[in-house]
């Protein structure tokens, strides 16, 4: 075995080593949060390669493309970049989009098919509802879209829908009898536009593998080793793909944690993990129990919460890490105050412990909660980054540029065409577009094809000469871009497009600060494209073509745009935080009806999913977790009283540190209650809230004050602060508090300025100034 790999494998514990070194056959690793599942997956790939398995034969499926990129870099650090390049790693959607491009013709799609994002799908569905003259209050486009999405994820095609009287009747009962027709029209239109939506990427892959045995055999032979992270969140469609591909060799390795299954609302099926042993022969089952991520307090508190769920596999999670501070619970009168508390706490912790902004995360249940946090962080000049919400690529000006780029690659793309045909304004009005849509339908062609023949067809469509010329000019412009694109790279084409279409001039004319910000965004897009071209050349050995770029963008989750080069506090929903870790984590809005969400408390299983979500949130924290809640909050435009989340109560008191007197004024004191006494959580829920707003309880007692002061800064005294200056050589093995073990690959500078380039198991290649680096020499 390669000596580098040996070092890393030695760094694993025994339980982790077993699945890492397991050779052939099916295996499943079921283990709690932070126990090293993702690390095992990464090391296993490196190990397989060291055993002579060709990278070309390994497929690895991850939750985000960013996670895949990081794993790939880590593996490249061990086996070398040229080998790692050939690994197929990514999300289900990105991997199968790639395969579909190769095989698209078999399904009647062009290989340059467009990927419609959620917004494109919604626009198309709205247009169809309008064209069919349906009541848009009954046929709400979002609900229609969800319904179509759930059909697709259960592999219910249009034909299957109409053949299933139960489905048809269910929609009739829901007062949407024409659902099937909308579904059919939507599928037809996507097909004609040469477009697939997200769900199609899985549905069509299934279709491909089912209908074409030779294609199935080809990919079965190719992907001899398949590895899946976060297996608990795969949906039915994904499950079937994995099952089909791994059927021949059965070298399938899945890792997951049933307690972290949080996507049931999107069709994820926890049974996939529970049934794995039935699906394959001789399944080896491994369990990991030691958590390396979090302090003892956090691990035990998280255990005490998840134990309340009835449906779960029994698991032990323990840690050898230090106790750490108790989880801090903080109450604020309003969400504005809550934001201020979190911002100042981050500010103080950052100073006291000399941390980076990137060591902090603020997690919430719903995106809307970010605003109060943002306001407070801005006031304190703390840089932050919001993940999720409206991503960069969803912004109007960016979508406009992308609209043109998409048309260059696939002129049939109806949504792109509608978006840019008259932006910037060129005298092609809505009525003309409607006429084009009708004609396209009549001739069974795309809108662009009708436009190409507008001189012949124009008169019969009632389109006057002037408009015909404008339509022809538009076609000519797109075709000229296509010529430019032949052989060019993504960046060069996009730069020309932004100039020649008049997009940038239009924004310059605007002159408002928003207009300027939009121009900056377009510049940012171009910069991103330049980087993409470079990165493709280095990491994937391709040219960085426009088509590749568009695919990357269509499938980018917001997490994927994070280059990780800016030091910022991370703000995101808990759903997005899966798999990640941060030293300090603030879980905000810990209130009944918000978390657990009022919409998810109808059944026990919904409540259990909320509890799993809380388990995920809490287990992201390494050193210190905070739970904050407010006494009142604006919801649906009204200020409503809020009650602390039941999840706070579910944690054993000994793990908690209440920073505010818990006898909130909202809880009517019983006769002679110990208002100024010690914290007693049982009072929280027993007493009915009083209406109105009596004055607050006043000063904390001595005990409470002591508690306040007790918040121990996380003890960092035993961190091996280095004086490794001058003590390192190439090949020295060191350990870093965050990046784990690493090998010194190079040194530069002398004395106080000496820097070392170190390849870490957790962070890849890093250059550190040794004077500050917290390193311990291992050997």
Tell me how far apart the alpha carbons of residues 50 and 28 are, in angstroms, rounded to a whole number.
21
Nearest to 613 by CA among 184, 125, 257: 257
From the CB of 227, what's the least distance to ligand ATP, in Å?
13
Cα–Cα separations (whole angstroms), residue 376 to 224, 343, 346, 351, 387: 51, 6, 11, 17, 17
267 lies in the binding site for ligand ATP (CB under 6 A): no
On the CB side of 69, CA atoms within 13 Å amount to 18
Q: Where are the beta strands (DSSP E) in 58-113?
A: 58-61, 88-90
299 lies in the binding site for ligand ATP (CB under 6 A): no
Q: Give the residue, chosen from 4, 39, 176, 330, that forms a contact with ligand ATP under the rule CB under 6 A.
A: 39
For ligand ATP, which is the closer residue by CB, 149 or 762? Answer: 762
For Mg ion, which is the closer residue by CB, 33 or 402? Answer: 33
- Which residue among the candidates 293, 312, 620, 666 is catalytic per the annotation? 620
For Mg ion, which is the closer residue by CB, 37 or 69? Answer: 37
147 lies in the binding site for ligand ATP (CB under 6 A): no
292 lies in the binding site for ligand ATP (CB under 6 A): yes
- Region near Mg ion per CB under 5 A, out of 29-37, 519-527, 633-641, 704-712: 29-37
- Region near Mg ion per CB under 5 A, out of 5-13, 33-41, 117-125, 709-717: 33-41
Q: Give the residue, chosen from 20, 38, 319, 714, that forms a contact with Mg ion under the rule CB under 5 A.
A: 38
Q: Give the residue, chosen from 15, 26, 27, 36, that forms a contact with ligand ATP under the rule CB under 6 A.
A: 36
In the residue annotation, 718 being an active-site residue is answered as: no
Tell me how far apart the alpha carbons of residues 211 and 121 are, in angstroms, rounded to a whole number.
26
210 Cβ partners below 8 Å, 6+ apart? 216, 244
CB 405 within 8 A of CB 550: yes
Signed CA dihedral, 295, 300, 301, 305: sign only? positive
In the residue annotation, 37 being an active-site residue is answered as: yes
Tell me how far apart the alpha carbons of residues 318 and 222 are, in angstroms, rounded to a whole number.
39
Binders of ligand ATP among residues 525 to 584 (CB under 6 A) are 579, 581
- Binding partner of residue 257 among ligand ATP, Mg ion, none, CB cut-off 5 to 8 Å per kind: ligand ATP
35 lies in the binding site for ligand ATP (CB under 6 A): yes
For ligand ATP, which is the closer residue by CB, 8 or 658? Answer: 8
For Mg ion, which is the closer residue by CB, 232 or 645? Answer: 232
Using Cβ positions, the residue closest to Mg ion within the complex turns out to be: 38
C-alpha torsion angle, residues 209, 215, 219, 221 (rounded to 10) = 120
Q: Is 32 labelled as part of a ligand binding site? A: yes
For ligand ATP, which is the closer residue by CB, 433 or 737? Answer: 737
CB 5 within 8 A of CB 78: yes
Tell me how far apart the alpha carbons of residues 127 and 185 are, in angstroms, rounded to a whole number.
11
Q: H/E element holding 370?
A: helix 370-379
Binders of ligand ATP among residues 737 to 766 (CB under 6 A) are 740, 762
Nearest to 677 by CA among 701, 654, 651, 655: 701
**Furthest-apart CA atoms within the chain: distance in Å:** 91
From the CB of 261, what's the least distance to ligand ATP, in Å?
11
Phi-psi domain of 246 (left: phi exceeds 0; alpha: psi -120 through 50; beta: other) = alpha
From the CB of 41, what's the least distance to ligand ATP, in Å?
8
Q: Give the residue, chosen from 579, 583, 589, 763, that forms a contact with Mg ion under the rule CB under 5 A.
A: 579
Peptide bond into 424 cis (omega under 30): yes
Q: Is 38 labelled as part of a ligand binding site? A: yes
- The pairing of strands 284-288 and 327-332 is unpaired
11 lies in the binding site for ligand ATP (CB under 6 A): yes
- Region near ligand ATP per CB under 6 A, out of 7-15, 236-244, 376-384, 482-490: 7-15
Q: Is 37 labelled as part of a ligand binding site? A: yes
Terminal C-alpha separation, the chain:
19
Say how many C-beta atoms besides its own lie within 10 A of residue 18's C-beta: 17
- Which residue among the candidates 42, 260, 468, 660 is catalytic per the annotation? 260
- Region near ligand ATP per CB under 6 A, out of 34-42, 141-149, 490-498, 686-694: 34-42
In the residue annotation, 260 being an active-site residue is answered as: yes
For ligand ATP, which is the closer residue by CB, 234 or 260? Answer: 260
Tell me how far apart the alpha carbons of residues 343 and 283 are, in angstroms, rounded to a whole number.
48
- Binding partner of residue 423 among Mg ion, ligand ATP, none, CB cut-off 5 to 8 Å per kind: none
From the CB of 37, what's the least distance to Mg ion, in Å?
5
| Sequential DSSP letters for 296-323 | HHHHHHHHHHHTT-SS------B--S--
In the residue annotation, 578 being an active-site residue is answered as: no
User: Can you say which residues are annotated as belonging to the binding site for ATP?
Assistant: 31-38
List residues binding Mg ion (CB under 5 A): 37-38, 579
The residues carrying an active-site annotation are 37-38, 229-230, 260, 620
List residues binding ligand ATP (CB under 6 A): 11-13, 16, 31, 33-39, 257, 260, 292-293, 579, 581, 740, 762
User: Can you say which residues are annotated as belonging to the binding site?
Assistant: 31-38
């Amino acid at each position: 075995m390669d000596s580098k790999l040996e070092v890393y494998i030695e760094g694993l514990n025994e339980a982790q080593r077993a699945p890492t070194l397991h050779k052939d056959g099916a295996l499943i690793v079921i283990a709690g949060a932070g126990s090293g599942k993702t690390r095992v997956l990464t090391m296993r790939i490196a190990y397989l390669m060291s055993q002579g398995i060709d990278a070309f034969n390994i497929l690895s499926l991850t939750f985000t493309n960013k996670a895949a990129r990081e794993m790939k870099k880590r593996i490249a650090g061990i086996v070398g970049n040229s080998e790692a390049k050939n690994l197929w790693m990514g999300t289900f959607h990105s991997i199968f989009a790639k395969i579909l491009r190769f095989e698209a013709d078999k399904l009647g799609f062009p290989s340059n098919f467009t990927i419609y994002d959620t917004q494109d799908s919604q626009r198309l569905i709205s247009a169809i509802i309008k064209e069919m003259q349906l009541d848009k209050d009954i046929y709400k486009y979002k609900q229609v879209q969800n319904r179509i999405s759930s059909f697709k994820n259960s592999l219910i095609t249009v034909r299957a829908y109409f053949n299933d009287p139960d489905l048809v009747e269910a929609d009739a009962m829901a007062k949407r009898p024409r659902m099937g027709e909308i579904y059919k029209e939507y599928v037809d239109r996507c097909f004609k536009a040469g477009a697939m939506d997200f769900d199609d990427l899985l549905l069509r892959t299934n279709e491909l593998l089912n209908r074409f045995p030779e294609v199935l055999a080809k990919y079965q032979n190719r992907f001899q080793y398949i590895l899946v992270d976060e297996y608990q969140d795969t949906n039915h469609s994904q499950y079937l793909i994995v099952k089909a591909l791994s059927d021949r060799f059965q070298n399938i390795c899945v890792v997951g944690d049933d307690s972290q299954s949080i996507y049931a609302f999107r069709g994820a099926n926890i049974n996939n993990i529970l049934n794995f042993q039935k699906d394959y022969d001789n399944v080896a089952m491994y369990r990991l129990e030691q958590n390396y991520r979090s302090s003892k307090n956090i691990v035990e508190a998280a255990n005490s919460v998840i134990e309340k769920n009835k449906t779960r596999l029994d698991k032990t999670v323990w840690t050898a890490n230090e106790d750490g501070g108790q989880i801090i619970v903080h109450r604020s009168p309003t969400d504005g105050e809550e934001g201020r508390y979190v911002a100042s706490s981050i500010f103080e912790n950052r100073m006291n412990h000399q941390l980076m902004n990137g060591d902090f995360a603020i997690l919430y249940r719903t995106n809307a909660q970010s605003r109060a946090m943002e306001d407070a962080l801005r006031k304190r000049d703390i840089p932050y980054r919001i993940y999720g919400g409206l991503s960069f690529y969803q912004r109007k000006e960016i979508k406009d540029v992308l609209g043109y780029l998409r048309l260059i690659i696939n002129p049939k793309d109806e949504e792109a065409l509608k978006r840019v045909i008259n932006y910037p304004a060129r005298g092609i009005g809505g009525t003309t577009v409607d006429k084009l849509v009708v004609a396209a339908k009549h001739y069974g062609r795309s809108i662009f094809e009708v436009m190409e023949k507008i001189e012949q067809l124009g008169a019969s469509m009632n389109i006057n000469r002037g408009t015909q010329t404008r339509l022809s000019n538009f076609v000519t412009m797109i075709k000229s871009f296509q010529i430019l694109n032949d052989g060019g790279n993504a960046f060069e084409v996009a730069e020309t497009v932004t100039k020649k279409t008049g997009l940038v001039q239009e924004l310059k004319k605007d002159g408002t600060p928003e207009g300027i910000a939009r121009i900056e965004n377009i510049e940012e897009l171009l910069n991103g494209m330049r980087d993409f071209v470079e990165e493709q050349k280095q990491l994937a050995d391709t040219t960085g073509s426009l088509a590749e770029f568009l695919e990357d963008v269509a499938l980018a989750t917001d997490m994927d745009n994070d280059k990780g080069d800016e030091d910022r506090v991370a703000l995101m929903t808990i759903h997005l935080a899966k798999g990640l870790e941060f030293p300090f984590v603030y879980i905000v809005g810990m209130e009944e009806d918000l978390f657990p969400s009022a919409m998810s408390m109808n059944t026990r299983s919904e409540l259990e999913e909320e509890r799993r979500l809380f388990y995920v949130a809490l287990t992201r924290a390494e050193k210190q977790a905070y739970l904050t809640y407010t006494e009142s909050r604006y919801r649906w435009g009204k200020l409503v009283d809020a009650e602390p989340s039941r999840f706070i109560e579910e944690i054993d008191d000994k793990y908690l540190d209440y920073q505010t007197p818990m006898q909130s004024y909202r809880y009517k004191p019983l006769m002679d209650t110990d208002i100024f006494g010690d914290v007693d959580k049982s009072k929280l829920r027993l007493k009915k809230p009083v209406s109105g707003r009596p004055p607050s309880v006043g000063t904390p007692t001595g005990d409470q004050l002591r508690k306040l002061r007790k918040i121990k800064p996380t003890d960092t005294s035993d961190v091996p602060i280095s004086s490794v200056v001058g003590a390192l050589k190439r090949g020295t093995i060191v350990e870093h508090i965050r990046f784990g073990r690493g090998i010194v690959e190079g040194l530069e500078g002398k004395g106080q300025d000496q820097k070392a380039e170190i390849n870490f198991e957790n962070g890849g290649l890093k250059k550190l100034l040794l004077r500050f680096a917290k390193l311990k020499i291992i050997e």
